[in-house]
Each structure stands twice: as structure tokens, then as C-alpha cells.
Amino acid sequence: KKSIEEKTLWPDAARMLDKAEKDGVETAWDRLEQQTPHCKFCQTGLTCRNCTMGPCQIRKNAPLGVCGADADVIVARNFGRFVAGGSAGHSDHGRDCIEALHSVALGKSTDYSIKDEAKLLRIARELGIAVEGKGVSEVALELSDLFFADFGSRQHEVSFLVRVPEKRKKLWNELGITPRGVDREIAEMMHRTHMGCDNDAPNLMLHSARTCLADGWAGSMIATEISDILFGTPKPGKSKVNLGVIQEDMVNILVHGHNPIVSEKVLEAVNDPEMISLAREKGAKGINLAGLCCTGNELMMRQGIPLAGNHLMTELAIVTGAVELIVVDYQCIMPSLVTAGNCYHTKMVTTADKARFTGAEHVPFDMHNASHQARKLVQTAVEGFSRRDSSRVEIPQGPMEMITGFSNEAILEALGGTPGPLIEAIKAGKIRGAAAIVGCNNPKYRQDYGNVNLAKELIKRDILVLVTGCVTSAVGKAGLLMPEAADEAGAGLHEICKALGVPPVLHMGSCVDNARILQLAGILANELGVDISDLPLAGSSPEWYSEKAAAIGTYCVASGIFTHLGHPPNITGSETVTNLALSGLESLVGASFGIEPDPFKAAEMIDERITSKRKGLGLS
Ligand code: SF4
Ligand code: FE2
């Protein structure tokens, strides 16, 4: 049995784990214990359930499934379906954003509007839509139609490939992995992995890459860009992080999930004076909104709303006993939150018809009722305040300050409008390279130990760190998202950060916002006239858990960026697939995966990669 100390790096989590035990609340760590040891066949990818001649397990004395599929085919098929699930998650979120933009453009939704017209016009122009003489709605309509088409079967390539360097596009064409349509690649992955279709592991892996590229350069990128258009492009600003953002004397509402379409509306309702006076009538000082996971990142990037925590903090936030309402949309929401909420007065409300939770109240949101539904929710939260049992409230104090809001637009603005100064800093070796640390928590690790230590080690080596998703909360709690953290950086990075007044670790948003990092990589490569794989860049997900994280890792590698993972996906049962992931992909797409659970060794691995890329560019 792991001690609390071994479960997490954080005092706020430790206090709540202790309280959870006393209050009888089961957490992911408890359930992991019950599930350990895991099935070895599943862990190595050697089980197949794709038909009813099976299910089959590959063993020494039974090396083939009933159909004749071997370990390589079974592992590659399983991996293909795994990343197709992740790509579907990001991309379906992107589709919801297109539907929102479309309904705004048609004047059908008065609940949403276009906040960043300049960005709408800029993107429309970038994608070849003539904007002159057209109204904003007309342009928005044409742009949403183009994005809908990116999900279909009639394009040769998704629109945002205009951001990809020519060399890379040529390479993808030669390999036959140019993403054509988001839904098409995902559906084709399901088709290929049906019994009796694609039975060649490397060929399956190439389609995995294509499916994930459709996620990164279309599904996710569309989600990010439309969210900026509808809710504003992020600018640097202050915020706060850890469970201390929950307020004892206020009605507390947490938003959890991924899509800002719901949480932005909840924020509006929270700020409604009528709602605030309602809360005061009930004896609260006001209404406090805080975020969890990615929808928390979305609200934080654009509105400065504080972040209560990442994936493994979601159950623990409820354990404070001070949360009236948790509003969720979709993805990464543990079903156990309903049970945890029932131990207190915390109500969980679902908002998406495609993500319902038994035991939670369902208040469906759509384009035409969002403001109304959001007010209804906030009212529910306010009413819940009188049911709070103050004797069971315990809130860890002292949130950490942090800076958020580093969209590419904001980064370029800080640099004076062009990537030139960043490139100069890289050439001079003041910034030796950049690494994106992204993804999740996983109770198999000491929470955030890998996320935080890897970031610290990299900035010491003058490697600029970019973070999204659940790593935000990790590095934020460690103080690395403050300009003062430049003192922990190497001399070169320290100098640049001081000159610009920015932290050595930049918060770039939610998981779909990894698309911002892809775009930035494209900008740098184009500026230098090289391929993305020539740049001193790396990706990392030290504590990943989800299908979506595997999809991100795969599109990162397929885009030419070396990617470190704390542990491998369930592929190690196939030597062919494992070798392809660890080295074979290098000769195909110019990057591969590296696996290393120890963040200090991982930093070494990333440093070596960046050093060799610098050499390749003729830099010392
Ligand atoms: Fe077994 Fe082949 Fe069916 Fe998979 S597809 S369950 S390996 S028979
Ligand atoms: Fe996420």
C-alpha cells in the first residue's frame, strides 16, 4: 500500500487524501490498488476482441489468433483503435465548435457571438476565403462550411495544412499519410482494424499517424481557432492555482471537462448581479467559479479564472466539502465524481447528451438555450449553499500565483510582431530549444513528480518549456509559471525571460491547444526554411493516461517532433511495433518516441535530442 507521500507531490492533495480516508471517500489511487496487478496480455497489447471467433490472447503456445493474426497485427490494430478514440475526442469537440460558429453565423444563436473578428478574418484569408466586401457573418458562414468539409471525404487534404512546411507535406504525401478528412481517417481506422482488412503492422501504424495528424492539424486546431474567434484570443494575465482557490465563504462552482462552449456561459451567469444577490440572500459572500482540467485551462487562458487542479485533483476538490456544484461537459471526467459528490452536498450536473453520468442531474446545453441553462445551474448551486455542512469543510490554503494566456498571437506580440527575436535567441544558444510538456496525471506515478521535475530540469538547461492541459496545474503549483522562476533557469534563458518579463515555462492552453504548438513549430520551420524535424524541439507527456494523449504524441512524432513518454502505450507485445515507435519512425517521419519514467533521465534524453538538432542546423 502506497503512503500518501508516495501518491502525490502536493500538500493540498495530501491533506485531501487524508480527509478522503477519514470521510470514507474512495479515490482513483484506492481503485488502482484494487486493480493491481493488471492483466499482462492487455498491458502488452496481446489481446484481441475484434470478433467472436475470439477473444484471443497471444501466448507462446498459441502465437496466432483464431483468424491467424499474429502479435504484430493484433498490437498494431489495438493501437490504431486506441488513437482513433483519442482523435475522435479532440475532433468531436472541434465539431461542436464549428456548429457553434455556424449557428452564430446564421444568426440562429443569440447566446454566442464573435468576440475576435480580426482573428476570424485573418484565418479566413489564410485559408483562401475572399473576405473583401463581405460581412462578418458571411465570412463566418464560409469558414464554418470549410471546416465542416475538413471532417468529410471530399478534400484531398485538411485546410490547415497550409501551415505545414512544404518539405513535411511532401514527405506525408510520399508516405500516403496526408490527412484528408477527420471523420474519414477515424472511420477508415475502424474499417482497417475489422477482422480481415489491414493485416500489416507497419501499414496500420502509418494510418494511425494519418488519423492523429487529422486530429492535430484539423480537429484540435479547429477547436482552438474557433474558440479564440468566439471567446477571444488569449493574452497574458494573472491567475491562481491549487485547491486554495475554493472559497469558504462563497458559493463554489467547479467547471470540468474540455469545451469552453459550456463553461464560458457558466462564467457569464456567475457574474450576473441577480445571481450574486441571490447568493448573498443565502448568506454567501458571492459566487466563486474555478476550473478543473481542460475547460479550466480554457477559462484560465481567456478569462483568468483560477484553476483548482488537474485530473487527479478532481475527486479531491469535492473532498473539501465546500463545492456546491460541479458542471461537466465531456472527457476525462471520472464517473466516481458522482459518488464522491454524494458523500457531501456536491451536486454534479452533466450538460452534453453524449456524456451522461448515472446519478448526475442532466441539464442539456445547446446553441439556443445556453444562457438560460447556465443561469439555472448557478441558481442550483446557490440553493445548495444552505445544505453545506460547515463542520466537514476543509480547504487547503494559499493558492499559487501564475501567469497564463500565451497564445501564439501573444507570444509574437511580446517578441515585437515577428518570430525573429526568438530565432535569434535560439541561434545564439540563449534558448537552446523548446520542449512542450503536456498531458495528464496517472495514479501509477507520484502525482506531478514527473511533470514538475522534467520542467525544472529543462529550464536549467536553457530549454524553454511550453505547457498545456494537466501539466499546467503541476508547474503552476510549483511556481514555474511566474516570471521569478527565471531564477531557476540557465543563464541564457534567464536573460531572455528577464528582458521580456515572462516565465521560463509558458502556459499555452488546453489539450486541443497543442495545436498552437504545432502552428508555432510550423512558423519557426518556415521562417528558417527547414522542416519541423530539423528544429531543436521535443514533446513530452511524463504522466499520460488517455487515448487522447497517445493521439497527441503520435501527431507530434508524425509532424517531426521527438516525443518522450513516461511509459509506453500497450504495444510492447510486438517487437515490430515497439521498434517502429522507438526508432523505425525516425527514418520515415524524422522523429520517434522515447520512453523513460525518470524525469531526470528524460531531461537528459530531450537535451541530447536538442543538442543533435542544433548541430544539424550548424549551431553550437
Ligand atoms: Fe481472435 Fe482474429 Fe477475432 Fe481478434 S479478429 S478476436 S485475433 S479471431
Ligand atoms: Fe485535456
**Strand ranges (E), 325-397:** 325-328, 347-350, 361-362
Q: Round to whole Å and give the CA distance between 477 and 255.
A: 19
Q: Whose CA is nearest to atom 2 of ligand 1?
A: 67
Look up residue 497 and give its DSSP letter.
H
Output the pLDDT for position 374: 98
Domains 243-392 and 403-616 share a fold: yes
Q: Round to whole Å and give the CA distance between 500 and 568.
A: 37
435: Cβ contacts below 8 Å, ≥ 6 apart: 458, 463, 464, 465, 466, 537, 538, 539, 540, 606, 610
* Residue 293 CB-half CA count within 13 A: 26
Residue 463 three-state SS: strand
Q: b/e map of 145-182 (b: 16 or more CB within 10 Å)?
A: ebbeebbeeebebbbbbebbbebbeebbeeeebbbbbb
Q: Across-strand partners of 593?
A: 563
Output the pLDDT for position 201: 98
**Strand ranges (E), 489-582:** 505-509, 537-541, 562-565
Q: Round to whole Å and give the CA distance between 357 and 353.
A: 10
Q: Which residue has cell 538547461? A: 461
- Which ligand is the nearest neighbour of the Cα of 472? 2
Output the pLDDT for position 157: 98
Ligand 2 centroid to residue 473 C-alpha, Å? 12
Q: Round to whole Å and give the CA distance between 263 and 606.
A: 36
**Nearest ligand 1 atom to alpha carbon 51:** 3
Q: Round to whole Å and give the CA distance between 41 and 69.
A: 15
Please indicate whether residue 288, judged by its CB atom, sits closer than 6 Å to ligand 1.
Answer: no
- Ligand 1 pocket: which of 49, 51, 58, 199 to mutate (most atoms <8 Å of CB)? 51
Output the nine-digit C-alpha cell for 512.
486541443
Phi and psi, residue 213, nearest 5°: -65, -35
Output the pLDDT for position 270: 98
Secondary-structure breakdown of the chain: helix, strand, coil percentages, each rounded to the nearest 5: 55, 10, 35
Query: Which residue stretches of the chain have pLDDT < 70?
Result: none
Q: Round to whole Å and give the CA distance between 214 and 210.
A: 6
* The CATH number of the domain covering residues in 71-231: 1.20.1270.30
Distances (CA, A) of 435 to 183, 455, 492, 521, 608: 30, 9, 16, 11, 12
**Nearest ligand 1 atom to alpha carbon 68:** 2
Q: Round to whole Å and give the CA distance between 403 and 482.
A: 6
Q: How far is CA 183 from the centre of its chain?
A: 20
**Nearest ligand 1 atom to alpha carbon 195:** 5
**Helices 182-192 + 201-214 axis angle, to 10:** 160
**Strand ranges (E), 310-368:** 325-328, 347-350, 361-362
Spatial contact of 349 and 325, defined as CB atoms under 8 Å apart: yes
Helices (H) and strands (E) in the chain, counts: 27, 16
Please indicate whether residue 50, judged by its CB atom, sits closer than 6 Å to ligand 1.
Answer: yes
What stretch of H or E contains 602? helix 599-616
**Nearest ligand 1 atom to alpha carbon 55:** 6
Output the pLDDT for position 281: 97
Q: Round to whole Å and give the CA distance between 166 and 518.
A: 15
Is domain 403-616 in CATH 3.30.750.80, yes or no? no
Output the pLDDT for position 397: 85
Please indicate whether residue 195, judged by its CB atom, sits closer than 6 Å to ligand 1.
Answer: yes
- Please give the single-letter amino acid code of residue 29: W
Ligand 2 centroid to residue 151 C-alpha, Å? 21
Please indicate whether residue 85, judged by its CB atom, sits closer than 6 Å to ligand 1.
Answer: no
Please indicate whether residue 71, judged by its CB atom, sits closer than 6 Å to ligand 1.
Answer: no
Q: Round to whole Å and give the CA distance between 21 and 178.
A: 51
Task: Give the CATH fold of the 243-392 domain.
Answer: Rossmann fold (3.40.50)
Q: What is the dihedral of CA 424, 427, 430, 431, to 10 degrees?
A: 90
* Residue 604 CB-half CA count within 13 A: 7
Q: How far is CA 393 from the centre of its chain?
A: 31
What's the pLDDT tens digit per position in 437-487?
999 999 999 999 999 999 999 999 999 999 999 999 999 999 999 999 999
- Ligand 1 pocket: which of 46, 74, 193 to mutate (most atoms <8 Å of CB)? 74
Residue 585 three-state SS: helix
Q: Which residue has cell 474512495? A: 26
Spatial contact of 404 and 236, defined as CB atoms under 8 Å apart: yes
Q: Round to whole Å and give the CA distance between 374 and 264.
A: 9
Domain ranges of the chain: 71-231, 243-392, 403-616
Q: Round to whole Å and give the CA distance between 110 and 22.
A: 48
494: Cβ contacts below 8 Å, ≥ 6 apart: 486, 487, 504
Q: Whose CA is nearest to atom 3 of ligand 1?
A: 51
